[in-house]
Structure 1
Amino acid sequence: MLPTWLTKEYIQTHLRAYCKDDQLRVLKLWAKPATEKGGNYVGVMTRIYVDYEDGNGTVQNKSYILKQTCPEDATQAKLFQEYDVYNREMDMYELVMPKMAELLREIGITEKLTADAVVVDRERTILILEDLATLRYVNADRVKQLDLAHTKMTIELLARFHAAALVLNQRYPEVLRTNYSSHFFSRGKKGYKEIFTGLFRAFIRYVNTQPSLRDRYSAKLEHVAANVMEYAARSVDVGEKDLQTLIHGDCWTTNVMYQYDDRGNPVTVLPIDFQFSTWTSPVVDLHYLFSTSLREDVKEKETELVQHHYYALKQNLDKFSYKGVFPSLLEYQLQFESRRFMTVLIANLFQPIMVYEGTEEPEFVNLYQNTPEGVRFQDSMYACEKAKRIVEHILPVLDAKGLLDPQ
């Protein structure tokens, strides 16, 4: 199960450097898969277990998360290479996140910002990260989604992340100069066009099975399908007056982890998985989070949640004595609203996947390809009552805002 190169000698060398202990000696090394099939399409995650003796003679039992690229013969391999997600994430863990954590400590924010990188091996394109599960971090339930307490805590996390990135860019602009311009909807890249187009066809197929939805929305959705990537790209475009920073880019329940107190209340939150971190408007993270991860009663507070992020971001920047241009709350709300088309995609296409509880084969290609297996999986996404409620609720809202009309 372990790669042939991942020997006791290999991990011992890196643990000595990470622990700053030249006497550390690895005694035993083994592994288990870290995610179930379909749990991670971007790469392969393995939990590795290490027994070692430190320089004081104390035996330690530790686990770590090994992140590798997806196999070369996997359908999605070329796609993720096209978007350079692996180099980006290595940069994030090795260069960006430690700098951001250092900056946040300047203003008294000392809690962890993400998992420590024990190994960043660019030759093998792998990461070995500390295992947050051993620190009692867990994911919230992706099907039940986030209540208000989880949501506000996650928004405050994003505000710290966005503020630190703004200051990082002012002080160390070279760190963010490359590799943060591409995103899911990048013009000139082909990979995600096939995926989003396939997902949108599946969405229209479901709408056409519902007479009340078909008669009102089908023709409009056909027009959107023909322009979906361009409309989506405009949601990530930024102008001179837009607030711009580094965003997480894929912020939903699977990519944030929480610690809880004895009564089950969340007390700390960390982000993980930075393959799609992008330089754009911070409200893109808000749209993604709101459209994928919030309970229906929480999403109804959307305007107040944008306000919550705005003031948390402003407070952090004030602590930094940030001198850059910062929008008014009205301008910020308008910047959020101008990217509303993201909701068309994320709520209708991604959320049914994210709350999926069906039994069809969760292979990556089945998300979007028009094969018998793919169609079965796609149709089953809209079979659950929760997905049906999402569509029935969001379509009238999007139509009323004009987002299903030609843009």
Structure 2
Amino acid sequence: MFKYIFHVIVSEDGSVPKIKSYELVTEELVLQALWNDKGQNAKVLSWEIKEFTSKGDGYMSVVASIVIKYKENGKELDESYVVKLNPLRPASSMTDLAGYMIARESVIFSSVIGNMSKHLRKLGLPPIKTPKIYARSLSKEREAFVTENLRKQGFVMHDRKKGQDLNHAILVLEELGRFHASSLLLEDTIAPKTFVETFDHFQTQVECTIKYLSEIPKYKKCVQWLKANIDSVGHYYLDGNTPKEPFDVLVHGDCWTNNMLFKYNSKNKPEDVRFVDLQCSRKASPASDIAYFIFTSLNGEIRSSYMKELLLSYYQSFTRILILARKKIPFKFKELEGELEKKKIYGLICGIMIVVGALFVEGEDEMYNLEGFSDDKLDEFADEQVKHFQKIAEREGSFKDRFLSLFDDMLTSPVFEIQ
């Protein structure tokens, strides 16, 4: 079948990258993707794998693009797709997790999101705004899946170092409302299983945070709370990921700037959004997604000035779908406000991890290196986190304002009172 097909692997500078995961892109996977997109009259002529993301854009997988030249109805054409691959790292507790997460994400895309979108179409509404999935492999240690390339439609990533403005945030929260509500239309049970529940690295980040805040008198209350609760950080994180009636929906699970793409109009105003990276999607409180997003992706000014407006945008989008479907609305707006207040600790933990660990990295030496990670190197990994935090904290720029704004909520919220 593939007698005349050839492929090459190239990086942006024309060199051949040494990425073992690229071996998982098979001719069968490529053909499956093309046929599911274009139909079985399409004939593959050649294909190549190209680097697609920047360093620091993802830790649990390898993402690349597949550029295919094909023939259909006598015409030679080309198309590109995005492929997510098992990173094939050395054996550790992270190894099986990486493969599991990729396989699970492909199921979320193909089955769960697909069924949610079917329910929306019945109501005359557009589907959930995620990329279409065209092919996948679920074989152990060969996990991979192929989706449409949203860049071709004009979608781009927002600068992760800049907090999203009100227009971006409203788009995100309106789509989150649709996402959460449509999950309630499913009759199928969505397993709440999530990633490994070991959080030693959280404690390292909190220790660094305490040291940093101790030099600023304004945040004395924050330091006291963090010291009193440093051993409970993992518990708070797990609690944030646990569904409790009536707050029980399918959540994105990793809802921050890097996991969404925006499309802009001629005036550079965002007009559409797409959610990507659903590998952490699970059943949880809708406030978990909201807290995760507002603490990781918005600056303090937007959070404090527009929180009511943003939450109303979410709630109106959420309830609209349930009203059209003649389903009971599980909670009132006031109840959602109260639930979000309870999830502020979860949002703070996520904010610390993302702002320090991903938003402000500038070079490869500041990125967490998981390539050689193994269970016997946990202490080395913790030391690396400390050095990473110190380097970013000493740099001039917007990190300080963005990071400290996470704790301004602690100064006024009763959630952070020491019992």
TM-score, length of structure 1 as denominator length: 0.87
1:106 paired residue number: 122
Query: Is 1:11 matched with 2:46?
Result: no
Residue-by-residue CA offset, 1:264-308 (whole Å, 9 max, x unaligned): 111111101101111111111110110011133321211321122
- Secondary structure (helix, strand or coil) at the match of 2:83 reads strand
Q: How does 1:147-162 map to 2 (within 5 A)?
A: 147-162=165-180
Partner of 1:129: 147
In 2, Cα distance between equivalents of 1:5 and 1:355:
30
State the alpha-carbon separation in 1 of the partners of residues 381 and 37 from structure 2.
47
Q: Is the counterpart of residue 273 in structure 1 residue 277 in structure 2? A: yes
1:339-360 alpha-carbon deviations (Å, 9 max, x no partner): 1211331233322334304334
For 1:317, the aligned partner's letter is L
2:146 is paired with a residue of what secondary structure? strand
Q: 1:296 to 1:396 in 2, by over 3 A?
A: closer
Q: Distance in 1 between matches of 2:24 and 2:243?
A: 44
Aligned to 1:347: 351
Tell me which residue corresponds to 1:186.
Answer: none
| Equivalent in the alignment of 1:337 | 341
The alignment partner of 1:382 has SS state of helix
SS in 1 for 2:272: strand
Read off the aligned partner of 2:391 and give its amino acid letter: S
> Which runs of structure 2 are paired with 1:305-344 in the superposition (5 Å)?
305-322=310-327, 324-344=328-348
* Preserved CA contact (<8 Å) 1:38 1:364: no
Gaps of 5+ in 1: 184-188
State yes or no: 1:377 paired with 2:381: no
CA distance in 1, matches of 2:313, 2:32: 45
Residue of structure 2 equivalent to 1:117 = 133
**Is the CA contact 1:369–1:375 (under 8 Å) kept in the aligned structure 2?**
no
After TM superposition, the structure 1 stretch with the greater mean CA deviation from structure 2, 250-259 or 374-383, is: 374-383
Asked if the contact 1:90–1:127 (Cα under 8 Å) also holds between the matched residues in 2, the reply is yes
The code of the aligned residue for 2:409 comes to: V
Could you say which residue in structure 1 is the equivalent of 2:188?
A: 173
Query: Considering only aligned residues, what root-mean-square deviation do their CA atoms show, in Å?
Result: 2.6
Matched residue of 2:110: which SS? Answer: helix
Q: How does 1:130-279 map to 2 (within 5 A)?
A: 130-168=148-186, 172-174=187-189, 176=190, 178=191, 180-182=192-194, 189-191=196-198, 193-208=199-214, 210-212=215-217, 216-240=221-245, 242-279=246-283
What per-residue deviation string (whole Å, max 9, x for no partner) do you get for residues 237-265 of structure 1?
Answer: 3433x331101011111111111112211
- Once the two structures are superposed, residues 71-93 of structure 1 have per-residue CA deviations (whole angstroms, 9 ceiling, x without a partner) of 231767337359x4223201111
How many residue pairs were aligned? 389
Structure 2 distance, partners of 1:76, 1:36, is: 25
Matching residue within 86, 89, 95 for 1:78: 95
Partner secondary structure for residue 39 of structure 1: coil
Contact 1:198 / 1:368 at 8 angstroms: preserved in 2? no
The letter for the 2-side match of 1:89 is E
- Unaligned ranges ≥5, structure 2: 1-8, 10-20
In structure 1, how many angstroms separate the alpha carbons of the residues matched to 2:70 and 2:119? Answer: 33
